[in-house]
Every structure is written in structure tokens, then in C-alpha cells.
Chain A
């Protein structure tokens, strides 16, 4: 202790012993301190990278050009876009972003930027990649530190940035498009309000069933099993797993059954046919009715085959009561007025056959170990409490329970949620994408008492959902409308009158879109009245024939009465007319034979239409487009002509290429196609 004190004392003496020496030492120190700033500048990271970049470009064939580009922009670079709120200095180190000849450079920060539709100068970097644009060190620009909130967005979520301005689906952003669909499809928005920047809230598309008459439909045992693990009943079920314990499942099932009210008609006894039904009749009726367009069934190999509009039917016989099933098949709109399922007009024998066929889709293992004693009033009361607490009524209508408002936190600006408001899990990177993905992957990892259930999502679906949520940033909401690419507002188009009622009853909008509303499984019918001939349409509604042989999803036969078919035909022919041309401007027959022959030549040689279409079943094989053997009896001549001139103008997104056809060619082809009258022509031969 004493000796070190002596050393210090002698050091003090040596440096500041007399005033002159002290002055010298202090001056020296001052000089050193003054030198720190220029030295820091000189040895800064970005200068180091710029030197490296120069070394790189000097080794290349086009060194002179590359060097000149670089020296035009020496020193710290900045892209400043006040309207977008962008201040980016990234190009200081990322010096080769615009150099196409650096395509083969694999090391950062000198890679060329891959081709995208936007330029660097107009959009900067942080708009898409996040990070701290104004920072000039690697660490500060890319990572989140105490002072900086925004780390670089991992490439797997980069499409979220497109979604800040682009509100409609884009060809180049399949992941974002999928994520936005899933937010509605998996019912996230039943509990979480998500308001889009244009002010409207995302609406769910999953339509969870009402539970007001659940006891008509199924048993308490099935509900109990379903609550334990919905995916054990149907692998495609979108209902999440609430991880309920045994007594809770018992009590919730007790409450749901107790609160259910019976519906007249659901209990009519199932008709028994006198003779044993043909075992193949059910399968063929199921096939003919194209049930598989919407419903999937898991086959022996474990593959789920069929559509996903309606629920999977692999074990439906174990779930539903036969009486209910028969009533549902008779008219689903009695039980659920808004269902996507059409009201098939099945005959009584057909109903019996189909009810028996579906009722046989059972799984004896599913409910084998479920034994429930009669429910006590306490259990029912506890069940009601649980149903309220878990927010079941956010998705399902339940007797005696009101739909809760704002049951879960609003996610309108989740993409910019301040990190200080988030409780991260230990070991997790402190960044918003990681938080969102982890929360979707395993919500209860953030606390066993949390209510958010466990969804069964594939990794790609989780990434897609995360991407869609990350697009909901402050910037997305605060951008001036002029700088965004808005989506078409959703349409709530509803056709009027009796035809409108019929179209709802037949659930046309589940597959067809009209005036912006409806599904995309079948053709858009907005201008159907200009497109087809009246007799064909009426016959088709009565008995839909095959237009596209390669499609597995086709228009089912609804057993429409003559009156109903006529009503629909009248409405479609009158209302769904394009303003683009006059339907009666071209005759449907009577074209000169020379013109018809010219059309035939054009069809087979110049335009080679037979690669995708069939007019002569003996020679032609193409089946990308519809079969044209009876197109002259099906389509309107003026429609054919205008379609040939510009298919995309008639139906946006049509895959038939625009051939830039001359008027003369289009007229000749129309003449030829209008002679294809199908069976009538064949009968003449």
C-alpha cells in the first residue's frame, strides 16, 4: 500500500513536478484528445469497406467504369426521401448495389441487388429491409441495440414490406398473399381486431358453425373428444386446440348440450328403404354431386383428397346424428342460413342413399374411450363460465352468451409494436418478427394461463402469417393515400328478387364471382348474359354438362325445377350484360361457307387453337381450354368475336393469350366456331 502510494507520488512529480513540464504534458494530452476525432473518422468502418470495395472492383475487367461510378459518390452516401420518412446511408458500404456486372460477387456488403420492380433512389433500403438507415456502423445499422429499435428484417419476411403500400395481392408476393388469406381463414380476426390502413377491418372467411342447436347435430361425447384434439377428428380442422383438461372438457360439453335448443325437422326419423340400397349408389351420388369440390376425405394412404370449402368428411358418421344429416342434406339453410353449402334438391331416395353413405364414414376408435356420466347443474354452470372465459362466442353463436368485443389485443399496428412493450422469452432474439412467429407457433409458451389456443400450422403457414402481420406497421397506416396501391374494396353485391333468393339458396357465390363478390373455383359470371345463348344456359342449369374434361371440380346438378331454371336464366341473360358490345351485333349462324372455311384454316394453322381446344373429337386433343364441339350452340357470336380480339378484356386474368388478331381473322374464326353446334350437327351427318 505504502509503496504504491510512493510510486504514484513520484509519477506525479515526474509529469507535473514543475510548471513548464506540466504545461508540456498538458499540451501533449490536448493534442492527443484533439486527434481522436479525425482518427475515429479515418479508421471508421465504412472507410474500411469502401477501401475493400475499391480493391474488389480494381481486380475486375470493367474496373474503370466501376471505379468511376464509385468516385462519383465518394464518402458517406445518403438517400433522403422525406415523404416516405426514409434516411438511408446503407449505400455508403453497400457500394455495388446497382452494378449489374457484379452479379457474381457473393460476399456482402458488395453484392449487386437482385432485380426488383423498384429503384434504390426512389425507395431507399429501410422501406423494405428495416434496420437503422441513418447509422454508419455495421452493428448499429443491422442489430437492435439499446438505442435502436429496428433490426434488419430477416429475408424470410421481406414480403411484408411490400404489403405496407400494396394492399392487393401481388404476383411476386405469394407468401404475403397467403398470410393475408390465412388471417381470415384461420379465424384470427374473430378475436383480434385488425384494421387495415384504409380503415376497414379484416373479415373472417371461415364461418364457424353456430352451436345454438348443437345437440340436434352431434353427441356430447363427440364434443368432448373434439375439444380434446380437433385434429384427431379431422386433420384439416382449422379449430385450434385449447389444451383443456379432462374436467373442463366434460363441463363445456355438458353446457353446450344443455344450452342447445331443438330445431323442428332435425329429428325426423331417417327413412329406411324397403330393398337393400345399392352399395355403389351412395359413392356415385357423392361423385355426381361433386361433393369433393368442397369436402375432403382422407384416403387409405393418409392423403387428404378434395376441396377445403366445407369440412373434411373422413369420420363424419361418428360425428353427426343420421336424422340431422338427412335434414341438413335436405336443406342446409334451415340449420345454418348463411352456409356456403348449396341447397341441392335431392329426391327422397337420393337423400336416403346419401345419408347412409356418409353415415358409414365412421371411425370406431374415435369415441371408444369416452364415457361421460350425466351432467350435474354445477358442471353445466362451470362449463358456461369456461365458455365465457375462453371466448368461444367470439367464433360460435352460443345460446345465453354474448359475442365478446375485443376479446384479444388489437393487431392493427402489430408490425411496429415497441419492443419495450413486449415480454420476450429467455433466449429469444429481441425483435418483433421473432416474437410474432413464436407467439403463433406456441402461444402458451408465453404463460400457461394465456387463453390463446394452439393452432396446427405448418412452418410455411406460420411464416406467411408473420409476414402478413409484419406488414401492419406505423408506416403502412401513416403513409399518404397517394403513395399506396389500394386494394379493390370488398363487394357485398347481392342480386335482387326471386333470382337473387335462388342464387343464395344454391350458394352460387361459393364458387362463382359476380361483380367482385364470390369464390374463384368456377368462372366469373359478371358478364355471363353477354357470353352465352339462352337455350343453352337454361338446359345447362337443369343438367350441367362437361365443358372442361380435365377439371375435377365441376358444376353439380341441383335438380332445379323448370320454373327455377327459367327464373335464373331470365335474370342472368338480362342483368349480366357487358357494356362493351351489343349482344345482337353478330348472327349465330348463316355465315358464308368461304368465311367458315377460312376460319377453319386459321384455327388449325395460323393460330393452332387445337393445342388447347377440341372442335373435332377425332383429331383434336387439347384440353387446357373448354371443349368447343358445341360452342356455336353455347356462346354468343359477338362474345366469341370480342373474346378472340382480347380475352383479358372480357375476363381479367384469362389465360388464353391475346393474339392481336385482325378484325378479319377474328370474324372468320367466329364464323367457323359458330358452325360448331354439337349434337345437332352430328345428327345431321
Chain B
């Protein structure tokens, strides 16, 4: 009896060990494209702003076209990006309208992320499409919320039915927050001063009211961090430049 149970135990554990060691069949072997395109274009989902480490609000959709510009179904699209970026799914075949959709999760560092979509032409030549997304850290995220609440009604010229822009109604046009050509030339102290004390503080329009009695110092810092991050062209802080190996 003893022996039999021992043997059963031994056989069972051996089977368990073998079962544990046998690898699960991996993900389905690489997809085979059924068609090839000549160009990759972005349909939607580029230039988005989302928090670090989180799924972007809109999926990224790219389309594969042939030489004539017609959509190609069944072309293989693969996405890649800097460390920390994940795509769900990372590769796949274009659908009947030539499009491939993926949900993008940005990395844990605030900043700009260059994502690349790849496909192959019939001649096996790689075609690439670069898309940029911006990840907001905690501070920039707070700045974004404040922008939405207090600033964007005037500083964002785009209107939606839910939020009609006041931009066109202003005699002196405000600078959109991503207008790097202007805002990058202003120091953090300038921005702090104009937000706190209003346009006249820098001899600018009085249509910009002061927010120094409404927003806290940390909130104004957050707003500036956000403005700096979304600036186009990108903002490079001047200051200590550290020698690097």
C-alpha cells in the first residue's frame, strides 16, 4: 500500500514537473501579410496628450495605401516606440478599410514619445511613419486640468459645441499654449509674472487678467510645466548645462 501510494505520488509529481516545464505554446507565430502597400498614413490618434504610464484616450489608427493611394487590406503593420511604451496589439493586419488600430500606453517619464509604425512594400522595402505623443507627469497633469478650467476658453482657438472658444472675440489674440515660437522665448519668471499679475505686468494686453489671487504658487508652477511640455517646437530649458561623458 505504502509503496503504491509513493509510486503514485512520484508519478504525479513527475508529471506535474514535466507539465510545468513544458512551455505553453507561445503567441501565434508571426502574422503573414496577405498584401503589401506603398505608404503609411496616420488616420487619427497622433499628437495626443495623456498621463504617463496610461492608455491614451484615443486609439492610434494608421492606414496602409498602395501607389495609387487606395487602401490596402491585409498588410502587416508593426509598431515600435521608446522603452516603456506598449501597444495593444503591437502588430497586425490592416482591416477592410486598410486601417490598423492600436491602443497606446506611454512610458513612465513625462515627455515626448516618438512612435514608429512599420510596414513592408512588395519589394520588402520598409516603410515608416513617425507619430508623436506627449506624456504628462503629475505636475503637467495638474497644469492640463487648470488649462482646461481657466485658460483654454481664450487660449485655445478651437471650438467644440461643448466649449465654444472665446479666442476670436478678443481684440488682442492670446497665444495658444503650444506656440513655442513665442512662449519659448519667455522665461519661467516672465510666465509666472504674466499669470500672476496679468498682461499689463509685461506691457501686454489687459484682456489677460491676473490669476495670482485665484491660483496657488504650486498651481502656477504646474501650469508652466504643462506649457513647457506641450510647446511646439519643443522647449529647452536654459540654465546649468552639465558636461556629460
Contact = CB atoms under 8 A, between A and B. Distances in A.
Do A and B bind? yes
Interface of A: 59-62, 101, 104, 106, 111, 114-117, 154-156, 158, 171-172, 174-175, 305, 426-427, 459-460, 463, 550, 552, 605-608, 610-612, 621-624, 648, 655, 657-660
A648 B142 contact: no
Contact of B146 (A62, A171, A610): A171
Contacts of B52: 155
B213 interface: yes
Contacts of A463: 54-55
Given A156-B55, A624-B153, A659 B213 contact: yes
B109 interface: yes
Interface stretch (B34-42, B133-141, B183-191): B133-141
A611 B149 CA distance: 16
A111 B107 CA distance: 14
Contact of A115 (B57, B139, B149): B139
The 4 closest A-B pairs by CB, nearest first: A155-B53, A621-B169, A658-B213, A550-B164
6 contacts: A101-B242, A114-B110, A156-B105, A611-B166, A624-B153, A658-B213
Given A550-B166, A610-B207, 12 more contacts: A60-B242, A61-B242, A117-B218, A172-B141, A172-B142, A606-B206, A612-B166, A622-B170, A624-B153, A624-B154, A657-B150, A657-B213
Given A115-B137, A611-B166, A622-B170, A155 B108 contact: yes
B169 A622 contact: yes
B43 interface: no
A61 B139 contact: no
B137 A611 contact: no
B179 to A, nearest CB: 19
B239 to A, nearest CB: 9
A459 B102 CA distance: 11
Interface in B102-151: 103, 105, 108-110, 137-139, 141-142, 145-146, 149-150
Contacts of A111: 109
B53 A156 contact: yes
B51 A175 contact: yes
Contacts of B221: 115
B149 to A, nearest CB: 6
B138 A611 contact: no
B161 A611 contact: no
A635 B6 CA distance: 91
A156 B85 CA distance: 12
A630 B176 CA distance: 32
B166 A624 contact: yes
Contact of B240 (A61, A117, A605, A622): A61
Nearest to A66: B242
Contacts of B142: 171-172
B245 A611 contact: no
Contacts of A655: 149-150
A116 B142 CA distance: 10
Nearest to A657: B214
B88 A459 contact: yes
Given A155-B108, A156-B105, A659-B210, A622 B53 contact: no
Given A608-B209, A611-B207, A623 B169 contact: yes
A9 B146 CA distance: 82
B103 A171 contact: no
A426 B52 CA distance: 29
Contact of A174 (B141, B207, B225): B141
A459 B103 contact: yes
B245 A59 contact: yes
Contacts of B170: 611, 621-622
Nearest to A172: B142
Interface of B is mostly: loop
Contacts of A657: 150, 209-211, 213-214
B165 to A, nearest CB: 9
A116 B146 CA distance: 16
A463 B207 CA distance: 40
A552 B161 contact: yes
Contacts of A621: 168-170
Contact of B162 (A62, A174, A552): A552
Residue from the set B54, B105, B209 with the largest chain A CB neighbour count within 10 Å: B54
B135 to A, nearest CB: 10
B203 interface: no
Residue from the set B103, B138, B170 with the largest chain A CB neighbour count within 10 Å: B138
A37 to B, nearest CB: 33
Contacts of B212: 660
A114 B145 contact: no
A657 B153 CA distance: 14
Contacts of B141: 172, 174
Contacts of B238: none
Contacts of B164: 550, 623
A117 B52 CA distance: 17
Contacts of A106: 109
B196 to A, nearest CB: 10
A658 B54 CA distance: 35
Interface in B221-245: 221, 225, 240-245
Contact of B138 (A114, A610, A648): A114
A655 B149 CA distance: 7
B24 interface: yes
Nearest to A59: B245
Contacts of A59: 243-245
A333 to B, nearest CB: 30
A656 to B, nearest CB: 8
B103 A114 contact: no
Contacts of B209: 607-608, 611, 657, 659
B51 A114 contact: no
A122 to B, nearest CB: 16
A148 B140 CA distance: 34
Interface string B190-224: 00000000000000011111111110001001000
Contacts of B213: 657-660
Contacts of B207: 608, 610-611
A174 B145 contact: yes
A660 B139 CA distance: 27
A672 B202 CA distance: 28
B244 A116 contact: no
A470 B240 CA distance: 41
B53 A172 contact: no
Contacts of A104: 242
A60 B244 contact: yes
Contacts of A550: 164, 166
